Structure 1
Amino acid sequence: MNSSKYTTADFAELVEVSKASVKNYVTILEDCGYVVVRDHRNYRQFTDRDVDIFKALIALSKERGLKLKEAAQVVVAPGFKPESVAPQPVLEVARYEDLCQSMELLAGHVYGIEQQNEQLLTLIQAQRQQNELLMTQNNTLKQELGSMMQHLVEKANEPSAMHQQQLDRVEMQNNAIMNVINSLRVEQREQVIEEKPPEKGIFARMMNK
């Protein structure tokens, strides 16, 4: 027989539940035929066997989804072995809190990244629209430049009226200069002829000897 005896308070600490929960579980177990030893004052005295049964009951209820009455019927059944219900490992509170905090930080970091991605996508879209606008303006400028170049070529091949007038004016000036030059040449030739003495005849030359 088990020699260890536990009060309700000590038993509650062993199975890691409140005293009220212990009384609730005991009532359900006793309704299913389970017997908890009592002392001469009719107080319950829990044993190591009770610890194993309660842990199995809690594991079946909380970890495997059975209702308390269903779990109680399982653990009080003949031949039930508490060790057949292995409780899931319980994380320490501090580790659990650290894990929760880490998950919150990670979630905040992920949210920040998502916000940055949305801003980046917005900037990319704006840059794409700006590039499309610049390409449209560039094509328009190319077309205007091509039209302007074609117009200049056509104007270069066809002299304008002002250009023709300038050519005519230059030609008239050249003609006037040539006329002046020709007149000067004629005057110089006439002057030379007037200044040249007449040549003497043969008889005159003989007389002068």
Structure 2
Amino acid sequence: MRTFAIVPVKRFDRSKSRLGTILSLDERRKLSELLLVNTVRTLEQSNAISSTIIVTSESSAEEIVGTTRAEFLKLDNDNGVNAALLLADKYSSQNGADATLVIPQDIPLLSATDIDNLCSRAEQLARCIVICPSIRYDGTNALLRKPPQLMKTLYDKDSFNSHIRAAVKINVPIRFFLSGRMMKDLDSIEDIRILMKEQVLNLPLAFLKSTL
């Protein structure tokens, strides 16, 4: 199964705005850069991922992860994550992907083992989604679709339940993947409190522990 990972990336100067009370704009930008590097490096360690695609209008993203094998789809305008993913879906289908795995850039505990295990849930199915929720069961922290253009993404409010409803509506098999690591994203001050309890010391968490 050829699975393309898709990482949608916001403009760094617009990301992590909910952390503005404890981190400066420069610190939030640096944190976003480190999260992206950590995510791409982890995806490259996965045996299940054939290619990693970064879709973004952020001009500096390619330079930041320039030492990796990630491919870039450059957006002229930032029209939201769902519009960006439509472009990535089309690219993936045209380049031989059997499935795509959408991974946000802000999952600091992401592991290659979890990615491999999630992807394995889809191997024996011709069409399906495999989904991992956020820790509050409202967001979507990983979404595998097989084939890539099986259904549109719905990364707005309550995306986890929106994706499930959309899959049910078109009678698509749903597989759930629950991982404590993958379910913890970094978007709010409460998320930081949770992550600071972890013993892992990767790039983004080391930066936070040295900054706060």
TM-score by length of 2: 0.18
Q: Which has the higher helix share?
A: 1
Larger Rg: 1
Which structure is richer in relative contact order (CA contacts within 8 A, separation 6 or more)? 2
